[in-house]
Amino acid sequence: MHTITILPGHDRHGNPETFEPLHLRPGDTIAIVGPTGSGKSAFINDIEVFAQGDTATGRRILLNGAPPPEQFVRDPACKPIALITQTTKCLADLTVGEFLAMHLRARKITECDLIERTVALANEFTGEPIRGECRISSLSGGQTRSLLVADAVIISNAPIILLDEVENAGIFRDRVITCLKKTGTSVIFVTHDPLVSLMSDRRIVMGHGAVLAVLEPDGSEAEVLKRVTEIDAYLSSLRERLRSGEVLNETVVAA
């Protein structure tokens, strides 16, 4: 079991950050919010490289209370962290099955049901079915993201996943959060998405390159979360109906 601790650094002008050491335990979800340029990506990059005061932010990241062993930082196959960004792509011209098999080979894993399990999990995350025979290059953005998250959980077996603005269309964010919680995976979302922000256990607010606040839900946002969940389900259903060729000519009751 891994606990990640984030120790404060400083903002863009060198003023120290004031947050208490932040612990990320198995199954925790954290959302990072803030305007563009506020330091959200720098925050998760710090975690990804296990910064030791040697990045622009001066933060330090500990694994189980200490700086992690070098191999955990350097060898992607030992690293407990998987980072998936908007720009992360599978470049190989392979089928989904071949791609996952390539990853298994690189890790020298021989369990043969992992490919099916990964594809099945990816399909829980997206409404557009992915099959093992699909070519990677023909997957949509949502399908690719879903596959990469499933690959991180099942094949990389990464206890910590960092998702940099991957909420965009075609992926059921609520299911990703619920599933990752179930598997004990810790997740940090950089997000502009109300559903992801409200569903997370904690919310970090960024500004001027620093953590401005760490918010913990006290139940006061429950009603808004309920409403956002309904709106999200409504939008998903519209998306599915449009995809199947329906005309949406019903009357809509104003909210």
Q: Footprint of another protein on this chain (CB under 8 A)?
A: 45, 48-49, 52, 54-55, 74-77, 82, 84-85, 87-92, 99-100, 102-103, 105-107, 148, 151-152, 155-156
Reduce the DSSP state of residue 164 to 3 states and report it.
strand
Please report how close the Cβ of residue 247 comes to another protein at its closest, in angstroms: 39
Please report how close the Cβ of residue 178 comes to another protein at its closest, in angstroms: 22
Please report how close the Cβ of residue 70 comes to another protein at its closest, in angstroms: 8
Long-range contacts of 83-88 (CB under 8 A, 24+ apart): 83/44, 83/48, 83/161, 83/162, 83/164, 84/145, 84/148, 84/149, 84/152, 84/161, 84/162, 84/163, 84/164, 84/166, 85/164, 85/165, 85/166, 86/164, 86/165, 86/166, 86/168, 88/148
Nearer residue to another protein within complex by CB, 11 or 48? 48
Please report how close the Cβ of residue 85 comes to another protein at its closest, in angstroms: 6
Residue 48 · residue 162 · CB < 8 Å: yes
Please report how close the Cβ of residue 71 comes to another protein at its closest, in angstroms: 12
CA distance 93 to 138: 10
Nearer residue to another protein within complex by CB, 25 or 89? 89
CA distance 248 to 246: 6
Helix (H) or strand (E) holding 227: helix 222-243
Nearer residue to another protein within complex by CB, 68 or 194? 68
Please report how close the Cβ of residue 83 comes to another protein at its closest, in angstroms: 8
Nearer residue to another protein within complex by CB, 22 or 139? 139
Centre a 10 Å sphere on the Cβ of residue 218 and count the other Cβ atoms it contains: 7
CA distance 174 to 193: 11
| One-letter amino acid of 56 | A
Nearer residue to another protein within complex by CB, 144 or 197? 144
Nearer residue to another protein within complex by CB, 30 or 148? 148
